[in-house]
Chains A and B, each alone.
Chain A
Amino acid sequence: MSLSDISVKIKEQPTGMAYAVLHELATNLEQLLDTAEENTIDLRSLPMNEADREELAELLGRGEVDITLNTIGSSRIFETAFSGIWWVTHYGDDAMVLSELIEVAKVPSLIPTHTDEISVALQRIQQVSTQAMMESKDV
């Protein structure tokens, strides 16, 4: 059982922070368009309550891309209704939110495969391919 299982909740009121974040996102989106500069806002660094977060989520909406990453707990990355604005939530093993970010980018930074890992993958696939060919000759 966790705290989220307790049915009685205190209703918090939004403070208006969601609109401040929205304003910053507009500036960031403009920078992405003009100079390709990418930006990230750490939502946990802002004095937002749960109601602010819900209001921001409602204002940004959901787009068509939804990605789940499974590593040391899961991570959920989805594009909002505003193209180029991504909502990134990292969870720990017990579904606890570790960090929550909004990225303004063409592709979220966690998604592209790193060049080093492509290099390792190439070596591995060549090994598998060679081994498969040798085994097929044996048959």
Chain B
Amino acid sequence: MSELPTSNSEISETLQDSLRKQGITRRTFLKFCTTVASAMALPPSAAYAMAETLVKTKRQSVIWLSFQECTGCTESLTRSHKPTVESLIFDFISLDYHHTLQAAAGHAAEEAREQAMKDNWGKYILIVDGAIPVKDDGVYSTIAGITNLSMLEDVAKGAAAIVSVGTCAAYGGLPKADPNPTGAVSVGDIIKDKPIINIPGCPPIPVVITGVLAHVLTFGIPELDDKGRPVAFYGESIHDRCYRRPFYDKGKFAKSFDDEGARKGWCLYEVGCKGPVTYNACATTKWNNGTSFPIQSGHGCIGCSEPDFWDKGGFYKALPQGQWGSAEGIAAAAVAGAAIGIGAAAMAKSHQESEGESS
């Protein structure tokens, strides 16, 4: 992981210089780009374009603000037993401010943030995790005596783009759950004049965070859906890519977590799985170095990457009757699911073609 830059010359060095100092070879770098391109369903040629572009760029200044959150998003990205491909992203950026990861504390930490803002005004990327409390002028969460609301508004002014990492920053998440005592809101509820990329999830998948950052550094802001999420990772529902989908199509459901259906690995829809209405890459990218994802471990999807997922009626209640629940609804859902799958494939193809042209 990169240390805080100690001088302007260190900030202004190219990524190529930086990689050389750290003993990271071009082959390692190309492997990183290939992995990211594959995860984002970009054409293989995009990996080479990404590698060529990235090495010539200056290390991108990144300011990471953590507000009303649990640090799970940072943990997701950093807490692996060994260095992973995902964590290599820290060698490619200049992480100028991050409460949890930086060595500096107190006034020195805030000075580092102010200096980074001054040196890179209009160019830095602002990453936010956590919701922002706005009730009572935002007094419920402060850093160095500054409210989260005030700090966000201040830092966002000089940002080239904002990345909201985690459901709290993207949609308000858990802090916003009813009765929302602190008046928590998302980044997008406050900042209206900057491009915002949402990477929801509680927490988000590490390679999704890395992939989006690498895309921003090379090709710019990726194609987003109507909720501000990158289509490459959030273009299809958990349900559409779930390996238990064939059981759903055949109408075979677990009725409880200890019945025959559960033991046989049937669809978890009737025990509350929110896969049909949740868009994320868990079913394909998976967790813990690709080991598994909740449904594979026998628990339904709780829909953690969707807005207001805490207030949608309970994790163990089947989705509302009439929408998916009746036999007719299930049959309709199967058809709709297939249609969504085709639509997403077409969208992904169009996305790939446009990336191919740009590369």
Contact = CB atoms under 8 A, between A and B. Distances in A.
Give the one of B43, B45, B85 with max A CB within 10 A: B85
Contact of A3 (B26, B41, B292): B292
A10 to B, nearest CB: 9
B350 to A, nearest CB: 14
Interface in B1-49: 16, 20, 25-28, 30-32, 34-35, 37-39, 41, 43-45, 48
Nearest to B43: A42
A41 B35 contact: no
B27 A101 contact: no
B88 interface: yes
B17 to A, nearest CB: 10
Contacts of B48: 109
B84 interface: yes
Contacts of B41: 45
A33 interface: no
B290 interface: yes
B83 A110 contact: no
Interface string A82-99: 000000001011101111
Contact of B84 (A90, A92, A110, A117): A92
B358 interface: no
A116 interface: yes
Contacts of B82: 93-94
A60 B85 CA distance: 29
Contact of A120 (B20, B39, B44, B85): B20
Contacts of A117: 25-26
A11 B48 CA distance: 36
A75 interface: yes
Interface in A80-130: 90, 92-94, 96-99, 101, 109-110, 114, 116-117, 120
A7 interface: no
B30 A110 contact: yes
B38 A72 contact: no
A44 interface: yes
Contact of A2 (B26, B43, B88, B291): B291
B44 A90 contact: no
Give the secondary structure class of B's interface.
helix
A33 B359 CA distance: 24
B170 to A, nearest CB: 26
B44 A116 contact: no
Given A92-B289, A99-B38, A69 B27 contact: yes
A90 B26 contact: no
A109 B29 CA distance: 12
Contact of B16 (A94, A96, A116): A116
A72 B87 CA distance: 11
9 contacts: A72-B28, A72-B84, A75-B31, A90-B35, A94-B289, A98-B31, A101-B34, A101-B38, A116-B16
The 3 closest A-B pairs by CB, nearest first: A40-B44, A99-B38, A71-B28
Interface of A: 2-3, 40-42, 44-45, 69, 71-73, 75, 90, 92-94, 96-99, 101, 109-110, 114, 116-117, 120
Given A71-B25, A110-B31, 19 more contacts: A3-B292, A40-B45, A41-B44, A42-B44, A44-B38, A71-B27, A71-B31, A72-B28, A72-B31, A72-B84, A75-B31, A93-B82, A93-B84, A94-B289, A96-B290, A98-B31, A98-B38, A109-B30, A110-B27
